[in-house]
Amino acid sequence: MILNKMLKDVEISVPIVYGNVSFWLGKKASEYQSHKWTVYVRGATNEDLGVVVKRAVFQLHSSFNNPTRVVEAPPFEVSEAGWGEFEIAITLFFHSDVSDKPLNLFHHLKLYPEDESGPMSTKKPVVVEVYDEISFPEPSEGFVARVQNNPVVTFPRLPVGFTLPPLVPVEDASRKRRGDTKDHPLSQWFLNFSEADELLQLAAARQQVQAHIAKLRRQISVIEGQHQQSKSISDQ
Amino acid sequence: MDAKDILGLPKTPLPLTQEKKPRPQKDSQRKPDGISREVYALTGGVPPLMPSVDSSQLKKRPPTDEKITWQWLPFTSSARKDSLQLYHWVRVVNGVPPTGDYSFAKYNKSVDVVKYTDEEYEKFLTDPMWTKEETDQLFDLCERYDLRFIVIADRFPSSRTVEDLKDRYYSVSRALLVARAPSPGDVSGNLLVKEPYNVSQERERKRALSMVLSQTKQQERKDAEVLAEAKKITESRMVARSAEEPELPVASNSGLENVEKAIMPADTISPSSNAHLPSATVVPSTLMADNASTLASLRLLRVYLRTYALDQMIQAASSSAGLRTIKRVEQTLQDLGINLKPRVPTKAVCAEHLELRKEILTLLNLQKQLQYKEAEGSSFRDSTYETPGTPKDRMFIPDSMSFGVSGERVGKRDQKRKAPGRLTEAPSSPAQSKRPRKLKASDL
């Protein structure tokens, strides 16, 4: 049963992280292949993105063979060897009940460490990751049903009285290939993204700004009062 | 030196003979080889520290072992069908004239125009609008003038438009190609077959082009206005109530056909979006309108990145602010230690970030307000008869509320304080700032 109705008041967010990990090849490096790198898109908590994303297309630099790499199943990543840094366009195509429009991400491949003075190591890679969230403001019922208990998405607090459509069991729960990246070979380098710190910072900043605003308002009213006084004096 | 030369030896300034004749007494003063003395004198008469141009590069002389003469010789060109012999000057080296075809013969390219037999004409190429004679004439002209249709149209005995001629030529060529091909699949890749000449489209295109070309300045301005209007209207269509919205002004000048085509897709989107948008979104204030329209346009996308959404909301919120204000907001954020783009852009973080930016905008506005008030206050004190000057005159007053954001000083615009922001420091006493400071030299 395909549930086609679009749910207006439910917004589904899929937190993702995309970026690259790059290892210097050290002694094995050649002129054209000095680094081994992997560019990828993963769920922010390493859950399986395949529930949402049908396929990912990575557009590499034209100097690579077959620069358009299509990845049909998670983990959505491309590994290559090279020497240059360039912008990679990643296009995410979603399942038909999720969205018929693809989404574009852009990532600048980073191979060389920020701090150029330190020695390059073959053991410690250069890692650049970006956190973002894919937002589906009006998901279809089918999509909602499919993912309602799946940790790869986040639901907002549902309004009171809202009933979710019944959970549709996912077919082929036992997939041959693992879609999640929890035990991915590169997972030890993945960065952690916690909103808590940022929220605290923002809250503190807002408090300061609000305090200053209040102070300014008081000062302005004081001055306005004084103006009134001097005006009434001069009018006499 | 020149006077001596004029009176003495009448030598030429060009160094054609200089190298050959040794001039020891001139040597000490004439340093360069290959450039004339006068030119050398322009540089100051002193040799440069480093040779700017390798003197052997200058004035390459032909190798002296070759004897060059020029002769008036006959020639033929392979580009000509007759064997006309013409004459021209030829550079002869050591008595051997150059061989080879006339050097310009290679440019004689022509187009392969198809030829049909009468039989083929009867079978495939008859057309009610064209007689065989006309078609033959057309093809003859095409061959003679290498498919230059403007010329062909001019030379064509009966008057036909360029588009008509092109149409006839291309359809005949295509029909012949298809007829002669062993199977249709073979020629399907051929451009003639893949993209046939579209007469009506060509006519329209040329008409539109000529209209655009012949637009007067007045019309150009009107068009620009209409385009801007159309853009605004499509944007406001994103908000609800498109049923009552005014019709798009139809361009009076046809050059805007493309614009109309672009607007049509927007037309088709908005009816469908209305079904989704809540009905009561009559927006009273502009800020609400900005927010609502941004949200609406985001919904239309159906899928978008949170960072993109945040950008759009920020833009909408600062739509009334100038570039300088936006920079000040960003400076303030930096002073507060907040990333301009949140590192973990979750929904909550983005909402907080947006609110913070709005609050900073309010703060900056209040600061400005305070400055104005203080300026007004001082004008009252000084003289009640003086009318207050323009705000610009009063910008000597230091910005006492800054977190490190520079106040508006005349002359110093984008000064950024290098020291860390004074976030917890108490601002300087307001009483002090009421009096306008005399402009010190250090302020400029």
- Chain B residue numbers with beta carbons less than 8 Å from the beta carbon of A136 are 302-303
What is the average per-residue pLDDT within B102-112? 85
DSSP secondary structure of B33-101: SSS-HHHHHHTTSS--SS-SS-GGGSSPPPPTTS-EEEEEEEE--TT-SS---EEEEEEEETTB---SS
Question: By the 8 A CB rule, do A137 and B310 touch?
Answer: no
Mean of pLDDT over chain B: 72
- Chain B residue numbers with beta carbons less than 8 Å from the beta carbon of A103 are 303-305
Q: Please report the number of interchain residue pairs, chain A to chain B, with beta-carbon separation below 8 angstroms.
A: 129
Predicted confidence at residue B249, as pLDDT, reads 41
> Does domain B118-210 sit in CATH 3.40.50.150?
no
Asked if A134's CB is within 8 angstroms of B305's CB, the reply is yes
Which residues 216-255 in chain B show a CB within 8 A of chain A? none
* Neighbour order of strands in the sheet with A103-108: A68-71, A53-59, A87-94, A103-108
Interface check for A138 against chain B (CB to CB < 8 A): the answer is yes
Residue-wise pLDDT for B386-404, tens only, equals: 444 444 444 333 444 444 4
Task: Give the pLDDT band (50/70/90) at residue B418.
Answer: very low
What is the average per-residue pLDDT within B398-423? 44
Burial B307-334 (b: 16+ CB within 10 A, else e): bbbbebbbebbbeeeeeebeebbebbbe
- Chain A residue numbers with beta carbons less than 8 Å from the beta carbon of B306 are 13, 132-135
Q: Where are the alpha helices (DSSP H) in B279-346?
A: 286-301, 306-317, 323-335
Predicted confidence at residue B237, as pLDDT, reads 80
Task: Give the pLDDT band (50/70/90) at residue A161.
Answer: low
Asked if A6's CB is within 8 angstroms of B356's CB, the reply is no
Instruction: Name the residue type at position A224.
Output: E
Retrieve residue B51's tokens.
Answer: 């040779």
Predicted confidence at residue B248, as pLDDT, reads 43
Name the helix (H) or strand (E) containing B6.
Answer: helix B2-7
Identify the residue among B303, B349, B367 best suited for mutation to test binding to A, counting A beta carbons within 10 A and taking the highest: B303
The winner for highest mean pLDDT among A108-122, B314-328, B351-365 is B351-365
Angle value at C-alpha B88, between B83 and B89, nearest 5 degrees: 150
Q: Which residue has the higher pLDDT, B189 or B79?
A: B79
Provide CB contacts within 8 A for A59, sequence distance 6+. Answer: A67, A68, A69, A88, A89, A90, A91
Residue-wise pLDDT for A95-105, tens only, equals: 998 998 999 99
Task: Give the pLDDT band (50/70/90) at residue B273.
Answer: very low
Interface check for B336 against chain A (CB to CB < 8 A): the answer is yes
Predicted confidence at residue A81, as pLDDT, reads 93
ipTM surpassing 0.90: no
Q: Tokens 């082929």 map to which residue?
A: A172
Residue-wise pLDDT for A171-212, tens only, equals: 555 444 577 888 888 888 999 888 898 999 999 999 999 999
Using CA atoms, how far apart are residues B37 and B247, in angstroms rounded to an integer? 79
Task: Give the pLDDT band (50/70/90) at residue B153.
Answer: very high
- Chain A residue numbers with beta carbons less than 8 Å from the beta carbon of B352 are 199, 202-203, 206
Which residues 126-155 in chain B show a CB within 8 A of chain A? none
- Chain B residue numbers with beta carbons less than 8 Å from the beta carbon of A222 are 430
Q: Which residue has the higher pLDDT, B161 or A231?
A: B161
Q: Is A23 exposed, middle or buried (0-12, 13-18, 19+ CB in 10 A)?
A: buried
What is the average per-residue pLDDT within B109-124? 86
CA-nearest residue to B299 within chain A is A137
Interface check for B343 against chain A (CB to CB < 8 A): the answer is yes
What is the average per-residue pLDDT within B57-84? 80
Residue-wise pLDDT for A32-71, tens only, equals: 889 999 999 999 988 889 989 999 999 999 999 999 999 9
Retrieve residue B87's tokens.
Answer: 């004459």
Asked if A234's CB is within 8 angstroms of B380's CB, the reply is yes
